[in-house]
Amino acid sequence: MPEEGHRSKKERRLRRLRSSEDLRALVRESRVHPSSLVAPIFVKEGTGIVEPIDAMPGVNRYSVDRLPEQVERLAKAGVRSILLFGLPLLKDELGSSGYSPEGVIPTAIREIKKHRPGTVVMADVCLCEYTSHGHCGVVRGGTVDNDRTLPLLGRAAVEYARAGADVVAPSAMMDGQVRAIRTQLEDAGLDDRIVMSYSAKYASSFYGPFREAADSKPAFGDRRAYQMDPSNSREALREIEQDIEEGADIVMVKPALAYLDVISRARARFDVPIAAYSVSGEYSMVRAAALNGWLDEAGVAYEILTAIKRAGADIIITYYAEQVADWLSQRR
């Protein structure tokens, strides 16, 4: 009998654990669960608005009065966390509608908390939706002035937290933004609030549909002087490390699908919760192919989210949150 006998060959059959759905479920390493999904919501100033976004079929902008029903629908599907983006009526050089207590985001937060207090309300903290030039901070001499932007991000975070946000999520990619926000929150007696930092946020073409949705395309230049170069991953670890030192509770890698290696490296190095943002372009690519009948939408969306989990993310921000939660409940 040769060494490669009948016995040793059969010992190596990896298919044994794949033979039924119950067995596959038993040995499954990563799972997508609605409780770890966050649904982004675009909130537009006004009333009675449910406005489709051309570049993101199936995603709408809502006015504050239409939010409670959306939040309720998401909660029914099992998605209890939302991330708010604001579309103000007025924009100016300094993005002042972004940190006004009567702005669209504080108003939205109060409305949601009144209606469904248990919802985990996260608010994006950035100026690009509120500035006339579309950059993420104060522009001086043709560039974004880091240190003049910090106090304004801090003010926005305080206003959102005062309105009831559980989580503030700085996405401007200014150095020191987490410390500035943490300090201003503490000074306002709001030290119980969570800071989820968009730590490793890349200068990505995948944000294209979002900029249509949020009307936040820069009027000149691009964001490469503050967002990260897509070529780098060691630098992402430095960004994350710095944010943790500055007081971030949750760190984020964004986009997700093209940056799974970054998520995986971050997972190996840090023990804080890691969020991954599956951005607008990731949604629109799949959606467009699905609408053409070229891809099985549920299968592909679920597979992508599973891959993001497998790479090491705890939290996934995705425009597919509600659908995936629905598909998961149908599978059960």
Is residue 171 a contact residue for ligand PBG (CB under 6 A)? yes
Binder among 70, 197, 280, 318 for ligand PBG (CB under 6 A): 280
Rounded Cα distance, 243 and 102, in Å: 29
* Per CB under 6 A, 125 contacts ligand PBG: no
User: Are the beta carbons of 145 and 139 closer than 8 angstroms?
Assistant: yes
Q: Is 246 in the site for ligand PBG (CB under 6 A)?
A: no
Beta-carbon contacts of residue 316 (< 8 Å; ≥ 6 apart) = 32, 36, 37, 38, 256, 275, 276, 277, 278, 305, 308, 309
Scanning 17-25, 73-81, 121-129, 245-253 for contacts with ligand PBG by CB under 6 A, the matching segment is 121-129
Q: Which residues partner with 197 through β-bridges? A: 251
Distance CA 277, CA 111 (A): 25
Q: Which of 42, 202, 207, 320 binds ligand PBG (CB under 6 A)?
A: 207
Interface with ligand PBG, residue 159, by CB under 6 A: no
Residue among 117 and 206 whose Cβ is closer to ligand PBG: 206
Question: Could you tell me where the DSSP H helices lie in the chain?
Answer: 6-11, 21-26, 67-77, 104-115, 146-163, 177-187, 208-214, 234-246, 260-269, 280-291, 297-311, 321-331
Q: Output the 3-class SS for 169-207.
A: EECCCCCCHHHHHHHHHHHCCCCCCEEEEEEEEECCHHH
Minimum distance of ligand PBG from residue 288's CB (angstroms): 15
128 binds ligand PBG (CB under 6 A): yes
Task: Enumerate the β-bridge partners of residue 213.
Answer: none
Choose the binding region for ligand PBG from 10-18, 159-167, 184-192, 208-216 (rule: CB under 6 A).
Answer: 208-216
**Catalytic positions, please?**
201, 254
Q: For residue 64, give every residue at least 6 positions away whose Cβ sits within 8 Å of its Cβ, in sequence order, or none.
A: 43, 47, 104, 107, 108, 111
CB of 274 to ligand PBG, least distance (A): 17
Size of the site for ligand PBG (CB under 6 A): 12
Q: Which stretch binds ligand PBG (CB under 6 A): 21-29, 87-95, 153-161, 204-212?
A: 204-212
Minimum Å gap between C-beta 174 and ligand PBG is 11
**If binding is defined by CB under 6 A, does position 279 make contact with ligand PBG?**
yes
> Considering the rule CB under 6 A, would residue 124 count as an interface residue with ligand PBG?
yes
For residue 275, the minimal CB distance to ligand PBG (Å) is 12
Question: Any contact of residue 126 with ligand PBG (CB under 6 A)?
Answer: yes
* Identity of the residue, 165 or 279, whose beta carbon is nearer to ligand PBG in the bound complex: 279
Contact pick of 136, 178, 253, 262 for ligand PBG (by CB under 6 A):
136
Determine the Cα–Cα distance for residues 172 and 149; give it in Å rounded to an integer.
9
The phi, psi pair for 16, rounded to 5°, reads -50, -40
Q: Report helix, strand or coil for 40.
A: strand
> How far is the first Cα of the chain from the last one, in angstroms, to the nearest whole number?
48
- Residue ranges in contact with ligand PBG by CB under 6 A: 124, 126, 128, 136, 171, 207, 210-211, 216, 223, 279-280
